């Protein structure tokens, strides 16, 4: 039984060994991708907060202003995340 387990595990170990460790540049790229996700999430969360505030706004003008600000924040977050992802792609 132990031989069977060892024999079935060999291809998995070979695959892991073939992949090897990431280079420092690839690791930096991975970190940039994680940062891009965090930036996008932060923008989405802030935009969502502003949209909720807009729903409770006392005037239509205030609601429109908050919604416009929410959209702008969401766009900025997306643009920053895209730039970080592009930089990360060049590193991988």
Q: Where are the domains of the chain?
A: 23-91
Give yes or no for residue 76 having a pLDDT over 80: yes
- Please give the residue that has the higher pLDDT: either 18 or 85: 85
Task: Return the SS3 of 33.
Answer: helix
> Is the model's pTM score more than 0.95?
no
Give yes or no for residue 39 having a pLDDT over 80: yes
Q: What is the pLDDT of residue 10?
A: 54
Backbone angles phi, psi at 56, to 5 degrees: -100, 5
Q: What is the pLDDT of residue 4?
A: 42
Average pLDDT score over residue span 66-77: 97
Q: What is the pLDDT of residue 7?
A: 47
């Amino acid at each position: 039984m132990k031989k069977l387990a060892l024999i079935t595990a060999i291809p998995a170990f070979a695959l892991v060994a073939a992949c090897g460790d990431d280079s420092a540049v690839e690791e930096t790229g991975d970190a940039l991708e994680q940062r891009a996700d965090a930036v996008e999430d932060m923008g989405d969360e802030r935009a969502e907060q502003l949209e909720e505030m807009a729903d409770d706004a006392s005037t239509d003008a205030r609601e429109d202003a908050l919604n416009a600000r929410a959209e702008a924040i969401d766009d900025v977050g997306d643009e920053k995340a895209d730039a970080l992802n592009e930089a990360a792609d060049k590193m991988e």
